[in-house]
A = this chain, B = another copy of it.
């Protein structure tokens, strides 16, 4: 094979490896600059770090073969799903091969009686929920983006429903994983709980592909609630909104969703999604249950809201109204970026004990008052988790530095409150310098585990921590 004919002159891979890759993947091996740049980029603000090649796998067996080849040639592999991660989690820091799993999107089994299903890693969450709807089932984890299930597992994603249904940590029963030495393992069986040995499932969840490549995921499902009602409520103060949620959780109201949007976020969604909400702090709620139980929850929460400076509780159980509301919520990121024409988004998240949430948001807003860069705040109140989205001018390098400084202060603030530098985005590249501040020597344990399981450092190298 003639190396010289490779498009764009991408020659970092050995000719022998390229030949083997072509034998394995045929036209599903891509070497064009466009494809490599796309896989080395992200939705976020990171500069692209392209891989040397992209392959689209169609089976676990192909993944095993790829892992063995790459191990032999000591070439990195970066698993890639929908490319919706936020912290540069899929960038090819050291080149190598981006393994696109999006064609492995089969729904392999749905066990309705057990409330579980098994899907390939490339299956997307919206696709899964469309498939499940007829059986009266749904998969609750909802990070906003239509991410792949494998990617959501790898970043320990969560989202709007986590307050009631948990995160990917809770949603996964078992994983099929290819290890750096090419083993094809299953981390657990399909029982709803087990005390059998180390929790390899949870070790792989959130490992961002650095310990294993997830090819199949067995998920817990839930019955679609008999009644789903949504509500919106404006508050005089941020504290009033947060206190309402804290009190509701303390008395056991099983809120299905509760999102906080600050005044700037409301302005953004009003413009982008053509709503006309008053431009003050809002809570968006969703309640699940029997009609009587939903009514009771709404009564309880609206009474709490009233006592905390909340306005009228606008609620609805009409599917189209709910859909409009949550569509606006899900477009919040794009709405924020659209506040400024030509802007690029920089999203960050932290998570603090809920008793500190109002204080953390308030101090952050005070910090944001010092910048001219538009910034919105949006949070999963029940978890103590919130996002800041900045709309930065890509032609003003100074703005990146400014946001990086604000982000640094935000993370320090969260850690000082016994919180974490990321509630749901993962570490990737963007949060590495904060991980050590958060967990100290515990990060050395992570390094020891990484070195033991991936001694050649080929699985998504350079992510989470440097070795």
Q: Using CB atoms and an 8 Å cutoff, list the residues of chain A in contact with chain B.
A: 111-116, 136, 155-158, 162, 166-167, 169-170, 179, 183-200, 202-203, 205-207, 211, 222-223, 225-226, 246, 249-252, 254, 288-290, 292-293, 296, 300, 351-355, 383-385, 414-415, 418-427, 431, 434-435, 438-446, 448-449, 451-453, 464-465
CB distance from A201 to the nearest CB of B (A): 8
Which of B254, B415, B449 contacts A453, CB < 8 Å? B449
Please tell me which one of the listed residues B179, B192, B354 contacts residue A445 in the complex, with CB atoms under 8 A apart.
B179
A68, B189: Cα distance in complex, Å: 37
- Chain B residues whose CB sits within 8 angstroms of the CB of A158 once the complex forms: 193, 195
In the bound assembly, the distance between CA atoms of A289 and B300 in angstroms comes to 13
CA separation between A445 and B435, bound complex, in Å? Answer: 25
A163 nearest CB neighbor, chain B only: B192
Q: Is the CB of A353 within 8 A of B197?
A: no
In angstroms, Cα B292 to Cα A296, docked, is 8
CB nearest to A424 among chain B residues: B195
Give the chain B neighbours of A226 by CB distance below 8 A: 251-252
Chain B's closest residue to A113 (CB) is B355
Given A156-B199, A198-B446, 20 extra CB contacts under 8 A: A114-B353, A136-B250, A156-B195, A158-B195, A169-B199, A185-B445, A187-B439, A188-B420, A191-B383, A192-B384, A193-B424, A195-B424, A195-B427, A196-B431, A196-B435, A197-B439, A197-B446, A199-B205, A200-B446, A226-B251
B199 contacts A419, CB within 8 Å?
no
Closest 4 pairs (CB-CB, A-B)? A452-B452, A202-B202, A194-B420, A113-B355
Minimal Cβ-Cβ distance residue in B for A246:
B113
A-B contact pairs, 5 of them (CB 8 A): A188-B439, A194-B351, A195-B425, A197-B464, A200-B445
Specify which chain B residues have a CB less than 8 angstroms from the CB of A296 in the assembled complex: 290, 292-293
User: Which chain B residue shows the least CB distance to A295?
Assistant: B292
Instruction: Let me know if A191 and B351 touch, CB within 8 A.
Output: yes
Cα distance A116–B384 in the bound complex, in angstroms: 13
Contact of A198 among B114, B116, B206, B420 (CB under 8 A): B206
Best-buried of A187, A435, A449, A451 by chain B (most CB within 10 Å): A449
For the complex, give the distance between the alpha carbons of A292 and B444 in Å: 51
Kindly provide the distance from the CB of A433 to the nearest chain B CB, expressed in whole angstroms: 12
Which B residues touch A426, using CB under 8 A? 195-196
Tell me which of A170, A195, A251, A415 has the highest count of chain B C-beta atoms within 10 A of its own C-beta. Answer: A195
Q: Are B195 and A206 in contact (CB under 8 A)?
A: yes
Q: Is the CB of A354 within 8 A of B114?
A: yes
- Give the Cβ gap from A186 to chain B, nearest Cβ, in Å: 6
Inter-subunit contact A420/B191 (CB<8 Å) = yes
The reply to whether A185 and B222 form a contact with Cβ atoms under 8 Å apart is no
A423:B198 contact, CB within 8 angstroms: no
Contacts of A225 in B (CB 8 A): 252
Cross-chain contact A197 with B250 (CB below 8 angstroms): no
Give the Cβ gap from A292 to chain B, nearest Cβ, in Å.
6
**CA–CA, A199 and B426, complex, Å:** 12
**Cα-based distance from A88 to B195 in the complex (angstroms):** 14
Most interface-central of A250, A251, A435, A442 (chain B CB within 10 A) = A442
Shortest A38–chain B CB gap in Å is: 24
